[in-house]
Chains A and B, each alone.
Chain A
Amino acid sequence: MKDKIKSNYSRWLFVLPALIIVGALLIYPIFSSTYFSLTTKHLTKPSYKFVWFKNYISILSDVGFYKAFAISILWTICSLLGQIVIGFSAALALHRVKYFKGVYRILLIIPWAFPSIVIALAWKWILNGVSGFIPNLLVNMGLASGLPQFLSDGSLVFGTLIFINIWFGAPMIMVNVLSALQTIPTDQYEAAQIDGASKLQQFRHITLPHIKVVVGLLVVLRTIWVFNNFDLIYLITGGGPANATTTVPIYAYNMGWGTKLLGKSSAVTMLLLIFLLIVCTLYFKVIDRWEKEDK
């Protein structure tokens, strides 16, 4: 009996340090942000006032916020679609080939290892409007009359950023989809072949059901990551030109560290979190249903 009680205590010791860290570094800040979002907190001035929902009202009546929100949504959907299409197709191709599998795999995941600052510098240099490789190559090949300004031309910059984000994010999808593909027992395909199922039917009835939960979860994680992403856009374009790439995180950063209105900035980030919570709840509903179907 005594032993049982002791063991009940000691099991908590294993999880306690992590719980404290998560509590102090993730739960507390949420409360703190909620509170500051209702105040006039300033980055450098010590005194502030409690103003209830004034920050929220002022943000929700700012056209700039809606624009940033729309750009965020577009940025997330385009990046995610691209990452999934490329990552998924690469995984299928990789799953199929017999030779050089390991070599391709290593080469293809390299972008994933890049720090965001190096992604930014590398692509800024490759796409540089004066001495960049790609603009000059396009001119030399006769495909462009003047050097294209991929990162400062308002009509090109968004597409360029999406491309860079796909370049960076597709490997993660590929690796995870590939490992899910490898768990599918091959005898199921053999049986299907004997039954005369086409490749497309095999894909629909064997491959997809096996990997959809993993893919679903990946989509949730990537949605969150891409939507919250600050580094890439901040480092490559800083939100410009003329706010063409200002997403909600950039908008919040400019408000908090540019105009120093931390209270208002907190309110923006709270709206961001609420939006993500709603989206993810919907996602999880779908995934839960899939998991139940499997059982």
Chain B
Amino acid sequence: MGKVKEKIGSLCCHTYLIILSVVALFPLVWVILSSVKGSGELTSNPTSFLPKEFTFINYKNVIDNLGFTVNIGNSLIIALITTVIAITVSSMAAYGIVRFFPRFGNIMSRVLVTTYMFPPILLAIPYSLVMAKLGLTNTRVGLIIVYLSFSVPYAVWMLVGFFKTVPIGIEEAARVDGANKLVTFVRIVLPLVAPGIVATAIYTFINAWNEFLYSLILINSTDLMTVSVALKSLQGAEILDWGSMMAASTIVVIPSVIFFTFIQRYIAGGMTEGSVK
């Protein structure tokens, strides 16, 4: 009796998870499938799945005519530099909090939650005014600085959780050997939390790559636009070309999805662990 009940329960779980998986996955599949269909097929046969005629014309259009490679380059550079700066600063801070300011740690995580509370739309106004004053509106540098505002607190928060797992004894042994704080940090501690740092770095990169609002407000020339805003501007084009939009969407979303599946084990809990324990 108990066994049958167990089996039915597990069957229900599988059914539920399969339904959810289909809903979760469908937009990605649909975007990719639509990107390889011709414009005629997209409008004449809206419910058919596989393309009758497989075509790369949408991708060609996005890259050749719409100059999307420039936007990809912009987003890559901006997200990469943001990540490098944010991770350097944040891993030092996270280590500092865990090792040298243990009592301060709890307050610090509350402070970070508080910064998370600041509405981006509130920050956008001072950012646009300050960047205009500094002559950094419409520059990559300006956008990178602004991106640090959400990358650093988040990265510190995630990294604190990882640094807490390093046993203090190892560091003390190194300290006895005469290594100073910085050397201990770089040579002993960093390698131990390397997986956590890589995961945090990838997460930071994805968030910068995906960002929209600040990029919308600070960048206005086409050749400096990031992918998000460039995609948005495609929508404003005279003819709504869904095939090309889906091709561009595929190019933007695929790196995010791939990276994300790599780090999913690490970000599980990273978000809440840093502050709870």
Contact = CB atoms under 8 A, between A and B. Distances in A.
Contact of A30 (B111, B118, B253): B118
Interface stretch (B15-23, B56-64, B165-173, B191-199): B15-23
Contacts of B73: none
A156 B114 CA distance: 34
A18 interface: yes
B206 interface: yes
Interface string B119-143: 1111111110110000000000000
Contacts of A25: 123, 145-146, 148-149, 152
A134 to B, nearest CB: 9
Contacts of B24: 107-111, 167, 171
Contacts of A112: 260
B13 A14 contact: no
A119 B210 CA distance: 11
B89 interface: yes
Contacts of A269: 119, 121-122, 125
B50 interface: no
Nearest to A113: B260
B113 A113 contact: no
A122 B25 contact: no
Contacts of A57: none
A112 B261 CA distance: 10
A265 B148 CA distance: 24
Contacts of A176: 268-269, 271-272
B125 A118 contact: no
Nearest to B257: A113
Interface string B90-103: 10110111011100
Contacts, number: 277
Contact of B10 (A97, A214, A235): A97
A12 B10 CA distance: 53
B78 interface: no
A104 B125 contact: no
| Main secondary structure on A side of the interface with B | helix
Contacts of A257: 217
B271 A11 contact: no
A131 interface: yes
Contact of B31 (A100, A122, A217): A122
A126 B30 contact: yes
Given A21-B148, A104-B17, A104-B21, A116 B228 contact: yes
A53 interface: no
Interface in B225-277: 227-229, 231-232, 235, 242, 245-246, 249, 252-253, 256-257, 259-261, 264, 267-269, 271-272, 275-276
B276 A217 contact: yes
Contact of B276 (A123, A137, A213): A213
Contacts of A107: 21, 24-25
A118 B253 contact: yes
Given A97-B10, A133-B46, A214-B272, A270 B122 contact: yes
A11 B261 CA distance: 36
A266 interface: yes
A121 B251 CA distance: 13
B117 interface: yes
28 contacts: A13-B92, A22-B111, A90-B16, A110-B25, A110-B257, A110-B261, A113-B260, A114-B257, A115-B212, A115-B252, A117-B232, A118-B249, A125-B30, A126-B30, A136-B46, A175-B267, A178-B268, A218-B271, A220-B113, A221-B113, A228-B117, A228-B119, A228-B121, A249-B119, A252-B119, A256-B121, A256-B124, A257-B217
